[in-house]
Structure 1
Amino acid sequence: MSELNYDIVRENEPSSWMLFLPGIFGQGRNWNSVARRVVRQRPEWGAVMVDLRMHGGSLGFAPPHTIGAAAADLASLAEPIGAEPAVVVGHSFGGKVALEYLRQHPDRLRQLWVIDSTPAPREPGGSAWAMLRILRSLPDVFASRSDVVAALERSGVATPIASWMATNLAHRPDGYRWRFDLDAMEELLRDFFATDLWDVVDDPPGRTEIHVVKASESSILTPDSLERIRNAAPGRVFLHEVQGGHWLNADNPDAVVALLAERLPE
């Protein structure tokens, strides 16, 4: 049976735990810097930086690769930390996984953070879908990481994103290959676009607070979705706008750290 790969960030012995779930093609370590700073300000909290199924070190999971399966995988993390997580923070693809986790476990969480993601279903598209199409057009093996970065740049990918994508490479005897399986990535993305989680936001289960964070320069959350979030469950669902692009952990980590450190439960 495959197991999730994760890293733990903590100061001393935390009394409560939060999970950080990255976006598609991402790894838990993408949020390490944010988590360390939050935990430094709120040392009663520990953070688990998760590689979701078929990402990073969490390989070998059996299909189907869905939002529901990715959320169900998280239950295994209670054993190594010795407690159920009280907060889940999900970015982009991870935001929908977080919402599905709350749907599956309605009485476990005190807070859920959805960072620049949407509960709405939609047609496949956007930057992640475009990246998948680009990756499928490239060779299976490369001589070096720099060759991968150059190939992505020639396909129109910005240098910072191309360099970040290259962190997903593994050195094999025949050269550099992607750690992830592109068919699994497509299956996960298709289910991400198809999954409707508005019921969780409209009427949060249990006593969970839901905090939705919109990146000011991102269009993932449409005006209609923003209005629906503003009108959802007063006192239980909160909308925050943070200056920056979709990758808020890189664009404006100070604001994300301040928001989490201030609003995490006592």
Structure 2
Amino acid sequence: MIELGRIRLFCTGLGAADATALLLVHGWGGDGREWSPHAEALADRFRVVVPDLRGHGRSEVPAEGNTPAEMASDLAALIDALGTGPVVAVGHSMGGQVVNLLAVQHPHTVRSVIALDPAHGAHGEEAERIPARLADYRARGSRPAADFVAAAFAPNAPAGLRTAHVRTMLGTPDHVVAQAYAGMYTDPGAVGVRPHSERYLSHRTRPALTVWTSAEAAAWERGTLHVPGSRVDHWPRTGHYLHEEHPRRTVRLVEDWADSVTNAAV
């Protein structure tokens, strides 16, 4: 548990202190345990830092402010406190939005970004459903959120993965579930809906690798790239929790990307 002044975050680390730092960030209603296989595999070559975001896992649970923007500021304070230097910031879903916000708002802390099925770019029917979903989360908290998560996996996802995430979501405080969702999509300054996403991505100055499970979303984000060396990949026939459905593929992706951006900086 690390006291950052603004928040107390639970955080674990593996690997050599002088190696290139990787920050592995979980998504909405999750915690850092989902990165355990990746952290072990990556620790031979990198310094791996795995936090629980505010309101999630073992970190402090504030009554207010459980939003991606505040989470990004927490991570900036964490990076500074640990003295890792700029990190390769890897985030899934809401964590993908958080690491992009970190890169935009606190660029000195970020070497590059890897965003896996990030929580931005919502449009059309998906965006139209946001107000009703938020009302349900405000009324019933984690229960409808757990139903949403249960439907997010591919049919061939590893056994137990769906149940693990449903349990973790159900253990997330109800007010955190609702505040985080509003912070992603409806609060003033939220960047989850496509026009807002396009504006904030235009301010990203660090190279970014984004992996989408949607071909349409991948094609859209390719049109938003402004930084040389950035890339968008598409992984078809994969559920939303792609990093856990395909852990070895994800580890290879992170290794190759981290090596490329590190070598480019030399």
TM-score range relative to shorter protein: 0.7 to 0.9
Alignment of 1:20 onto 2:24 = yes
Alignment of 1:33 onto 2:37 = yes
Provide the rounded CA distance (Å) in 2 between the counterparts of 1:137 and 1:249: 23
**Per residue, is there more helix in 1 or in 2?**
2
- Cα 1:14–1:32, aligned 2, differ >3 Å: closer, same or farther? farther
* Alpha-carbon contact 1:201-1:229 (below 8 Å) kept: no
Q: How far is the alpha carbon of 1:133 from its aligned partner?
A: 8.2
For the pair shown, which has the larger CA radius of gyration, 1 or 2? 1
Aligned to 1:188: 180
Alignment of 1:226 onto 2:218 = yes
Instruction: Say how many residue pairs are matched.
Output: 230
* Alpha-carbon contact 2:8-2:59 (below 8 Å) kept: yes
Provide the rounded CA distance (Å) in 2 between the counterparts of 1:163 and 1:47: 23
DSSP-derived class of the 2:8 partner: coil
Unaligned 5+ runs, structure 1: 139-148, 170-177
**Equivalence map 1:36-185=2 (5 Å):** 36-40=40-44, 43=45, 45-121=46-122, 122-125=127-130, 132=137, 136=141, 160-167=161-168, 178=171, 180-185=172-177
- Cα 1:252–1:130, aligned 2, differ >3 Å: closer, same or farther? farther
Q: How far is the alpha carbon of 1:6 from its aligned partner?
A: 0.9
Query: TM-score, structure 2 length as denominator?
Result: 0.74
Which residue identity does 1:37 align to in structure 2? A
Please give the per-residue CA displacement for 1:70-97, whole angstroms capped at 9, x wherever unaligned.
1111122125532334211010011111
Aligned to 2:228: 235
Once structures 1 and 2 are overlaid, which stretch shifts more, 88-97 or 99-108? 99-108
Which residue identity does 1:188 align to in structure 2? A
- Cα 1:107–1:79, aligned 2, differ >3 Å: closer, same or farther? closer
Aligned to 1:212: 210
Q: How far is the alpha carbon of 1:123 from its aligned partner?
A: 4.3
Q: How far is the alpha carbon of 1:15 from its aligned partner?
A: 2.7
Provide the rounded CA distance (Å) in 2 between the counterparts of 1:35 and 1:156: 26
